[in-house]
């Protein structure tokens, strides 16, 4: 399926970073595309899922990214609907397995004032995160957004999503830029911002899954903090309900 992203940030975006081992990578991709994606779209939990593989330089705690579009207005509303359905899939042996390889996941809410333009097909994706190790000290999402090199990226599709203060806690910001070009501006943007921008994904804290399992270690404790972390991605596959 041709990958398209809506010009306007969805009401909510479930962001999932995964790090399958090389020997399980094929199984991971097959499970996502043939089981997990169709299940979560069919039961109404999500409207679409777009998967990407990291190609940019820098810190890379997880090489796969999934952006799940949803209609929910808050994290509380999202998990009230998704939770029972995820548990039912787990009991059926279709969710919660090690093949999912989740390193970190979070439900973010869209900032509707950020709008882009129609893009017929995504050729590459750029993500910018604040430092997710210290969300409590993050500036408001819109303030953080205005200091990013938005114009230098020149992407028609621009999403801004942030964590829900009533849910996981405010301060996890994610900017998404989609372009038709296979090669995005990339590392050259690191010098175009008035903020401290580092190459790679934000270092990730330990994560507790919806089923209560804690994964991940503080492997990036020694990395210097940054105002923003920039990673580029290539499309893998897109599915819609």
Span 42-56, average pLDDT: 96
- In tens, the pLDDT along 186-196 reads 555 655 565 68
Q: What pLDDT score was predicted for residue 128?
A: 93
Share above pLDDT 90 across residues of the chain, in percent, rounded to a whole number: 56
Q: What pLDDT score was predicted for residue 221?
A: 65
Q: Say whether pTM exceeds 0.85.
A: yes
Which residue is associated with the tokens 């969805």?
A: 10
Span 215-226, average pLDDT: 73
Share above pLDDT 70 across residues of the chain, in percent, rounded to a whole number: 92
Instruction: Give all domains of the chain, ordered by start, each with its CATH number.
Output: 12-205+222-240 (3.30.70)
Asked whether residue 61 carries a pLDDT value surpassing 80, the answer given is yes
Q: What pLDDT score was predicted for residue 114?
A: 73
For the purposes of burial, counting CB atoms within 10 Å of the CB of 176, is it exposed (0-12), middle (13-18) or buried (19 or more)? Answer: buried
Q: Is 171 left (phi over 0), alpha (psi -120 to 50) or beta?
A: left
Q: Do the bridges between strand 48-54 and strand 197-199 make them parallel or antiparallel, or are there none, so unpaired?
A: unpaired
- In tens, the pLDDT along 157-176 reads 999 999 988 877 779 999 99
- The answer to whether the CB of 140 falls within 8 A of the CB of 173 is no
Asked whether residue 35 carries a pLDDT value surpassing 70, the answer given is yes
Confidence of residue 182 (pLDDT cuts 50, 70, 90): confident
- The answer to whether the CB of 159 falls within 8 A of the CB of 144 is no
Confidence of residue 220 (pLDDT cuts 50, 70, 90): low
- In tens, the pLDDT along 199-213 reads 899 998 888 777 767
Q: What pLDDT score was predicted for residue 219?
A: 60
Picking from 113, 240, 128, 143, the residue whose alpha carbon sits closest to that of residue 177 is 128
- In tens, the pLDDT along 78-133 reads 999 999 999 999 888 888 778 889 999 999 999 977 777 888 899 999 999 999 98
- Residue 195: CB atoms within 10 A of its CB come to 14
Q: What is the mean pLDDT of the chain?
A: 88
Asked whether residue 58 carries a pLDDT value surpassing 80, the answer given is yes
Asked whether residue 217 carries a pLDDT value surpassing 70, the answer given is no
SS (H, E, C) the chain: CCCCCCCECCCEEEEEEECCCHHHHHHHHHHHHHHHHHHHHHCCCCCEEEEEEECCCCECCCCEEEEEEECCCCHHHHHHHHHHHHHHHHHCCCCCCHHHCEEEEEEEEECCCCECCCCCCCCEEEEEECCCCCHHHCCCHHHHHHCCCHHHHCCCEEEEEEECCCCCCCCCEEEEEEECCCCCCHHHHHHCCCCCEEEECCCCCCEECCCCCEECCCCCCCCCCCCEEEEEEEEEEEEEC
Confidence of residue 17 (pLDDT cuts 50, 70, 90): very high
């Amino acid at each position: 399926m041709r990958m398209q992203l809506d010009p306007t940030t969805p009401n909510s975006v479930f962001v999932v970073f995964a790090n399958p081992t090389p020997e399980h990578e094929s199984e991971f991709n097959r499970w996502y595309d043939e089981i997990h994606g169709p299940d979560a779209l069919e039961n109404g939990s999500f409207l679409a899922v777009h998967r990407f593989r990291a190609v940019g330089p820098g810190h890379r705690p997880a090489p796969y990214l999934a952006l799940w579009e949803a209609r929910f207005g808050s994290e509380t509303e999202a998990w009230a609907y998704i939770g029972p359905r995820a548990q039912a899939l787990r009991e059926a042996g279709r969710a919660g397995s090690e093949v999912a390889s989740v390193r970190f996941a979070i439900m973010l809410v869209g900032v509707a004032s950020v709008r882009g333009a129609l893009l017929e097909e995504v050729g590459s994706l750029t993500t910018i995160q604040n430092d997710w190790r210290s969300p409590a000290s993050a500036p408001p999402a819109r303030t953080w957004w205005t200091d990013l090199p938005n114009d230098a990226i020149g992407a028609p599709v621009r999403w801004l999503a942030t964590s829900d203060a009533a849910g996981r806690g405010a301060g996890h910001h994610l900017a998404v830029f989609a372009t038709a070009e296979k090669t995005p501006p990339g590392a050259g943007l690191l010098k175009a911002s008035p903020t401290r921008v580092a190459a790679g994904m934000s270092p990730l804290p330990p994560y507790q899954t919806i089923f209560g399992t804690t994964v991940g270690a503080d492997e990036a404790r020694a990395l210097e903090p940054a105002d923003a972390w920039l990673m580029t991605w290539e499309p893998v596959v897109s599915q819609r309900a």
